[in-house]
Amino acid sequence: MKVTGQTWKFENKPVILGASSIVGPEEGEGPLAQDFDYIYDNIEINEKTWEKGERRLLEDAARTALENSGITEEQLQFYVGGDLMNQIISSSFAARKMGVPYIGVFGACSTSMESLAIASLMVDSGAAQYAMAGTASHNCTVEKQFRYPTEYGSQKPPYAQYTITGAGCSVVATQGVGPEITYATIGKVMDLGIKDPFNMGTAMAPAAVDTITAHFKDSGRSPGYYDLVVTGDLAAVGLPIAKELLQKEGVRMEETDFMDCGLMIYDRDKQKYVLSGGSGCGCSAVVTYGHILKRMRRGELKKVLVVATGALLSPLSYQQGESIPCIAHAVALEMGG
């Protein structure tokens, strides 16, 4: 592995052997429904509590990712995962059921690419032949923990985002058929001074810009190298801010298709309750491991840069008036040959 600045170049090019995306009913009403492995028809996910439902989503996604990869649980050597719940209990409890060596991580909504970068590092270095990366979120668990319980019926500002209900996992392998993981750029913590826990897009935009800029500088690539650069998840407020900041940095994003997972997963014209778009650990995970990977396997996309963003607040920090530190991690996916 070669290291330049904040970026790892994976010389052995580990592959995503298989992946999965499991979502709730509202995500199943969006434009990407056909790309998910399974859609639950109830927000409870057939469980008695929302927290247990979130865990079930992740357990389902892990099992399905193994099936889609064609390997057994006994062959899987490590699981790297995290979520938004306190003490990342969804991931830890799911790992308890999986029974494989586990590394728990927390990057808020950036966890999808943080876990994928770490799993890829393990495989590229020879520390593992098969490693899984995964994460999940549930609208009701996150809203209850970070803002107001759903039952409270609080009105939200139009710039707020809607936490998606879903889980995504991928199996990274030393060889096989699938998108190659060529680079990972590890972000730095950025803080714009935003204190409003509803205003995630604005808070996270500078972190996305910093990581995107570092990726192009470290790799020597330009935006035009990629068919798609996708953030996750800045939504309708944060993406325009990121575009403006990138323009000031001299990064010409008009050379590529520049999109956001939080805008892709819902139809905001029909699903008006999502306000400025989707968010949550599961957002970039299910869009990447569902929609984007399927497009890559169909040959519609060859080179994609996924930049997952995360707001590193806790209920305690924002109750004490702290501003919201944010981070973004980027992973480059390319179809070989």
Reported as a single tens digit per residue, the pLDDT across 127-169 is 999 999 999 999 999 887 887 666 667 788 999 999 999 999 9
Tell me which CATH code domain 180-334 carries. 3.40.47.40
Interval 321-334 mean pLDDT: 96
The residue-averaged pLDDT of 314-320 equals 85
| Predicted model pTM | 0.96
pLDDT of 245-283, one tens digit each?
999 999 999 999 999 999 999 999 999 999 999 999 999
- pLDDT in the model for residue 336: 78
Mean per-residue pLDDT, 78-86 = 96
Q: What pLDDT was estimated at residue 142?
A: 84
pLDDT in tens, 68-79: 999 999 999 999
Annotate the chain with three-state secondary structure. CEEECCEEECCCCCEEEEEEEEECHHHHCCCCHHHCCEECCCCCCCCCCHHHHHHHHHHHHHHHHHHHHCCCCCCCCEEEEEECCHHHHHHHHHHHHHCCCEEECCCHHHHHHHHHHHHHHHHHHCCCCEEEEEEEECHHHHHHHHCCCHHHCCCCCCCCCEECCEEEEEEEECCCCCCEEEEEECCCCECCCCCCCCCHHHHHHHHHHHHHHHHHHHHCCCHHHCCEEEEECCHHHHHHHHHHHHHHCCCCHHHCEEEEHHHHCCCCCCCHHHCCCEECHHHHHHHHHHHHHHHHHCCCCCEEEEEEEEECCCHHHHHCCCCCCEEEEEEEEECCC
Q: Establish whether domains 2-173 and 180-334 are of one fold.
A: yes
pLDDT of res. 152: 67
For residue 337, what pLDDT band results from cuts at 50, 70 and 90? low
Q: What is the pLDDT of residues 27-79, one digit of tens each?
A: 999 999 999 999 999 999 999 999 999 999 999 999 999 999 999 999 999 99
pLDDT for the residue 319: 81
Percent of residues, the chain, with pLDDT higher than 90: 91
Query: What is the CATH architecture assignment of 2-173?
Result: 3-Layer(aba) Sandwich (3.40)
Domain positions in the chain are: 2-173, 180-334
